[in-house]
Amino acid sequence: MITTELLPRWAAEMRDLFRSGSSAQFIIHGNVFDVVPSGGRLLSVPTFLEQVMFATYDVVLRYDRSRGVRATRGGEDWGDWLQNALGREANSMTLMREPGAALELIDRYLLRTLNLQSLPGAPATTPKRIAIIVEFAQFVVPRGTAAHLGGPFAANTVKVLGWANDPLIVQSNIVTVLLSEGLHDLSDLVVNNPHSAELHIPLPDENEMISYVKTAAAAQFPELAARSDVSLDMLGSRLTGLSRVGARTAIALALGTDRRITSEWLGKIKKDLIEREAQGLLDFIESSFTLDNVAGHEAVKEWLREDATLLKKGASRALPMGYLISGRIGTGKTFLVQCWAGELGIPCVVLKNFRDRWVGATESNLEKIFAILRALGQVVVFVDEADQASGRREAGDGDSGLSGRVYSMLAKEMSDTRNRGRIIWVFATSRPDLVEVDLKRQGRLDVHIPLFPPDTAAEREALLLAIARKLKLPLTAGDLPPFADDVTLGGNELEGVLVRALRVHELSPEPRKPLREVLAEVIREVRPNPHTRKLEYMDLVAVKECTDARFLPQRFRDLSPEELETQIDALKRFV
């Protein structure tokens, strides 16, 4: 493995590991379906390995379950051996495609070559260097126990482990490479083998994407600069978060449909392509609201606006790693984040349901999500119902440890201080007591913001007017009946009141009553949420998590920690 070409970081690490004798088997995962720039060309990852990393090798064998084993270099030696070994069956595609038979053929070929190399008078045609590239390795050595997968897959695992562990192979110029998009799709025995090296191919960062757009894309699309309303540097910056193939797709889509590349179009196509590459695991928040649409919570809005200012200034060291937004149901946690997203000026994505019933699929989904988030440059990640999504440190046997693995992966990613100011996590939950303490600590979710329903009649009126603006209803303060001070209604209940009043108003015969009178009747008849003790419990655990007293209503600021714990304990039996 000799090359003087300037290599991507993962390829340079692969070369150095092999030269040092540390490993002869490499598991390459991540952005494996992208192209790699090399000498003015764009090569697929397998082709880059074959033509650049293994350029001096005598034999290169590539295998996947669709096309079988094929020699892309050194075909004469492989073909002669295959003819002698199999005779009439040499051209049997079944033998060449099925993993068990294909790996057995490769293994026997390696053994024969090692035996020839050991002879004092080895034939001059004996290959000195051999590389094996197994594409879509997840279909050859998939995740799962031998008992669940069956004998053939267990045999494949043993073969692959043997190539990594056999001293004769390690000491010879024989390299094996396993390619898989998701590391967690592969057998744990293979991934955790100390004699294998794991290499991750990331999505292109901003500088790499700008370089791609200004060179390869501009050469392929000569009219690109003339058809773009943004500079090529800005185009590359805005396409960051996609693979090079995805960026090419976006550019080709615009130019192929006689569309100009505008800033607005770029934002939409990037959103669509990233959501497609994420396979529905991420959803971009496109918000027409700002924090002006949020009624009350003045201290919270001030804090969030200050952090938005720091973000725009690039003062990443002064920014929190993340936020925990808690409060009873109906306090507007999700809406607050949507409104903040409308002011930030950076992408804001929702982490959707990444759990999957198939073994290893959940972990692979998280890997894919993390890779996209790192490539986006700056992004806010919103996790709703975080107590359900974030996993548990001590998972039970019911999910085979999946919850614990999810927790571990999230905890590791959220604590990477290199992401401060780049990946900002926002967890929202009505039960922050169910989120693991380690996830809530400083350095992961630094700022804990509690939200509460309006306390006074004036606050309820302000919230109802804000909801009316959200629904684009022309209501003013004069349209609202007075509220009783002893009625506690959350935002969801107030929205329900307004919708019910509109329903009655629309169904009424002419001449209709004024909306104010209809609202007054509905408010008199409305029954607040009967689960009062559960809601009080949600309020108190939000108070307990709060990291800044300015976020708390006056009635909670005077509570001592002992009084707070006493009240929480008294309500626990109702939850």
Check for a shared fold between 9-201 and 314-450: yes
- For the cut 90, the answer to whether the pLDDT of residue 210 exceeds it is yes
| DSSP for 498-520, written as a single string | HHHHHHHHHHSPSSPPPHHHHHH
Tens of pLDDT, residues 239-255: 888 899 999 998 998 88
Q: What percent of the chain has pLDDT over 90?
A: 37
Q: Compute the distance between CA of residue 163 and CA of residue 110 in angstroms, rounded to an integer.
A: 9
314-450 to CATH, choices 3.40.190.290, 3.40.50.800, 2.40.50.100, 3.40.50.300: 3.40.50.300
- For the cut 80, the answer to whether the pLDDT of residue 412 exceeds it is yes
pLDDT band with cut points at 50, 70 and 90 for residue 119: confident
- For the cut 90, the answer to whether the pLDDT of residue 450 exceeds it is yes
Please report, for the chain, the start and end positions of each structural domain, with discontinuous segments joined by +.
9-201, 206-277, 314-450, 457-487+490-525
Q: Compute the distance between CA of residue 66 and CA of residue 160 in angstroms, rounded to an integer.
A: 19
Residue 160: its pLDDT value, please?
94
Say which CATH topology domain 9-201 has: Rossmann fold (3.40.50)
Strands 348-351 and 447-450, bridge-based pairing: unpaired
- For the cut 90, the answer to whether the pLDDT of residue 270 exceeds it is no
- What's the average model confidence in pLDDT over 3-18? 86
**Does residue 246 contact residue 71 with C-beta atoms inside 8 Å?**
no
* pTM for this prediction: 0.75
Tell me phi and psi for residue 509, to 5 degrees. -75, 160
Tens of pLDDT, residues 274-296: 888 777 788 888 888 899 888 88
* Count, residues in the chain: 575
**Amino acid present at 207:** N
Q: Which residues, at least 6 apart from 173, have a Cβ–Cβ distance to it below 8 Å?
A: 57, 128, 129, 130
- What's the average model confidence in pLDDT over 488-515? 81
Backbone angle region of 407, left / alpha / beta, with phi > 0 → left and psi within -120 to 50 → alpha: alpha
Instruction: Quote the tokens at residue 131.
Output: 């590389």
Task: Lowest mean pLDDT of 195-204, 498-507, 558-567, name the range.
Answer: 498-507
Residue 359: its pLDDT value, please?
57
Q: What share of the chain is helix, strand, coil (3-state, %, to 5)?
A: 55, 15, 30
Residue 411: its pLDDT value, please?
86
pLDDT band with cut points at 50, 70 and 90 for residue 486: low
- What's the average model confidence in pLDDT over 539-567? 90
Backbone angle region of 24, left / alpha / beta, with phi > 0 → left and psi within -120 to 50 → alpha: alpha
